Amino acid sequence: MKYYPPSNHIYYEDSDVPINKLNIKDLEVITEIEKELLVEAYHQLHNELDENTVFDEVYLCKIHRSIFSSLFEWGGQYRSVNISKSESMFCPYMNLDTFSKEIFTKLKNDNYLRDFEDVSKKDEFAQKLSYYMCELIVLHPFNEGNGRSLRLFFDMIVTYNGYEYIDYQQTLQNNDFITASIDCMEADCDKMKIIISNGLKKAET
């Protein structure tokens, strides 16, 4: 589902396809290309992950740029318009910079969630992950691709702590992730925490 006024400036007229560098207007084609780019971004960022990785605002923009910059002029850039989807109005663009800095300052104070390798801290880890996931969903900083960028962002955090990528597959297929995201708009992270807790598993060594 595309975002709505005034964000429809990023789409071809009467289309759900964002205006892109390849001038592709077929939604199925652009969707497949985006899937391939997402896989490549996972591979690249996973290979770059080390003790010097900082999960900050710059890193989130790097993730979005890694996925989308070859297709869209705005890849890796915060949006400059207000956007909504269904009845959800996301953070006004005029407040993006301020609210983003507040979120990432909190995350910095939590050491970017880099201290949760101990499996005994899994519940606290899931709580923190769901909180920041919800905060960034409400922020919705990019024109498109927010969900994919955020999931990749938190997958890199859990990987750093010795976990497998969070398994969202079923919740994406049955729209539970969407429902949880809508609850985030009301500052209710409970469903998101359940999704993350169920999908969070230690990597085999």
Please enumerate in sequence order all residues whose Cβ is within 8 A of that of 86, keeping only pairs 6 or more positions apart, or say none.
1, 182
pLDDT digits (tens, 9 = 90+) for 46-59: 999 999 999 999 99
SS3 26: coil
Has residue 25 got a pLDDT over 70? Answer: yes
pTM of the model: 0.94
| Of 193, 197, 167, the residue nearest 180 (C-alpha) | 193
Q: How far is residue 18 from each of residues 12, 13, 164, 178, measured CA to CA in Å?
A: 6, 9, 32, 21
Has residue 8 got a pLDDT over 80? Answer: no
Per DSSP, 43 falls in state H
Phi, psi (deg, nearest 5) at residue 112: 55, 30
The tokens describing 16, both together, are 């759900």
- Is residue 166 left, alpha or beta, with left meaning phi > 0 and alpha meaning psi from -120 to 50? beta
Q: How confident is the model at residue 4 (pLDDT cuts 50, 70, 90)?
A: low
In whole numbers, what is the pLDDT of the chain averaged over residues? 94
pLDDT digits (tens, 9 = 90+) for 76-92: 999 999 988 777 789 99
* pLDDT of the residue at 9: 75
Domains of the chain: 7-199 (1.10.3290.10)
| Of 104, 102, 128, the residue nearest 116 (C-alpha) | 128
| pLDDT (average), residues 92-113 | 97
* pLDDT of the residue at 89: 85
Q: Cα angle at 9 between 27 and 88, to 5 degrees?
A: 85
Distance CA 194, CA 180 (A): 9
Q: CB count, 10 Å around CB of 154?
A: 22
| pLDDT (average), residues 150-166 | 98
Please enumerate in sequence order all residues whose Cβ is within 8 A of that of 130, keeping only pairs 6 or more positions apart, or say none.
189, 192, 193, 195, 196
